[in-house]
Structure 1
């Protein structure tokens, strides 16, 4: 993984308040921890339906906005150093008709309509290419992003990822589950690197995401 040349600031560990926490967790065999929460998504679901916009695009967009608001979600571990990125994008899993998946790369945007247009293009491009494509190698290995998956068929209370921790980049991994129309609840799995953040930061992210869900008309 290459050291970033722009769009990122190197954290001076000696002045970083969690420097000792970083040193403690960074060499763990598995330094990631996972929290599953029940998102109250009824407000966003109803807004999306009434305004004829994609519920899927809506929560993807707001998940990215929330990540860019919470500084620890913008931190990455690269070659032993911690870097703070000024923009976090997303690699999102797309399912093809043959039940294989591809990764689509979505740029961070602050305009929902523009995001919907670019995401449609990204989804179509990803599905048109083989799994190991030029796009996979150019964007699939980027670290200034979230990894987002969706399991719209399942409501879950725990989740674990296939993992390769040879390089602990610290990319947060989000998995959205099945939205329950009766309860208005949608499960969300959040996996993050403990050397870069703690439970309080995940709680801050969830609170920010809930704010966006509850006030969708202001942001979509």
Structure 2
């Protein structure tokens, strides 16, 4: 798996308050835990509609932005060591007309306009290529990212992923579900590595994401 280690620093375990927690969880056969939340998204949905911008792009932008704010979401387990990355990007599933999917690689951008432009190009590129493409091997296997899926047809309350535990692990997996226009709720599944973080860190991430949703005009 490819990973730009020059943009990361190794966590010295002896100086890390979670050292014993890390040692406890790292060798579990399934060290991940999943939390599903009802995300209050009405404010962002209304903002997107009133300003004629993509609701999809806006919550992706904030999902990545929040991950770069919460330190444990930027940590990865690489060959038994913990690394903290300077920037977290995203691999996002895109559905083609033939009902197969591709992974689009989205890089964090300085502002929303640049992000929308970049996202449009990244999606077009991903859909134009076969599943196993040069991009898949060069960016799709990077660990300094989030894995994001969207199920806009389903309102779910639990979720599980296909998994392949490799030498690079700890990538958070997010799944956004169907937005309910009546309640303003959208389900969000968050799966993370327990050796790298605990429930309080997931709660911090959700709170940060909600802050961006409720104050979109300050960041878009």
TM bracket, shorter-chain basis: over 0.9
1:124 corresponds to = 124
Q: What is the CA-CA distance between 1:25 and the residue it aligns to?
A: 0.2
Runs of 4+ in 1 over 2 A off after TM superposition: 1-5
Whether 1:29 aligns to 2:29 is: yes
1:137 corresponds to = 137
- Aligned counterparts of 2:125 and 2:134: Cα–Cα separation in 1: 11
Q: What is the CA-CA distance between 1:6 and the residue it aligns to?
A: 0.9
1:186 corresponds to = 186
- Aligned counterparts of 1:112 and 1:166: Cα–Cα separation in 2: 33
1:215 corresponds to = 215
Report Cα offsets for 1:110-148 as digits up to 9, x if no partner: 200000000000000000000000000000000000000
Q: What is the CA-CA distance between 1:169 and the residue it aligns to?
A: 1.1
2:199 corresponds to = 199
Q: Does the aligned pair in 2 maintain the 1:2–1:78 contact within 8 Å?
A: no
1:45 corresponds to = 45
- Aligned counterparts of 1:148 and 1:76: Cα–Cα separation in 2: 16
Q: Does the aligned pair in 1 maintain the 2:3–2:142 contact within 8 Å?
A: no
1:89 corresponds to = 89
CA, structure 1 residues 31+53, in 2 after alignment: closer, same or farther (shift >3 Å)? same
- Aligned counterparts of 1:34 and 1:164: Cα–Cα separation in 2: 16
Q: Does the aligned pair in 1 maintain the 2:96–2:102 contact within 8 Å?
A: yes
Q: Does the aligned pair in 1 maintain the 2:64–2:108 contact within 8 Å?
A: yes
Whether 1:60 aligns to 2:52 is: no
Q: What is the CA-CA distance between 1:109 and the residue it aligns to?
A: 1.2
1:18 corresponds to = 18
Q: Where do 5+ consecutive residues of structure 1 fail to align?
A: none
- Aligned counterparts of 1:139 and 1:3: Cα–Cα separation in 2: 9
1:162 corresponds to = 162
What is the TM-score with the length of structure 1 in the denominator? 0.98
- Aligned counterparts of 1:125 and 1:166: Cα–Cα separation in 2: 27
- Aligned counterparts of 1:18 and 1:127: Cα–Cα separation in 2: 41
Q: CA RMSD in A?
A: 0.9
Q: What is the CA-CA distance between 1:165 and the residue it aligns to?
A: 1.3
Residue 62 of structure 1 aligns to a residue in which SS? helix
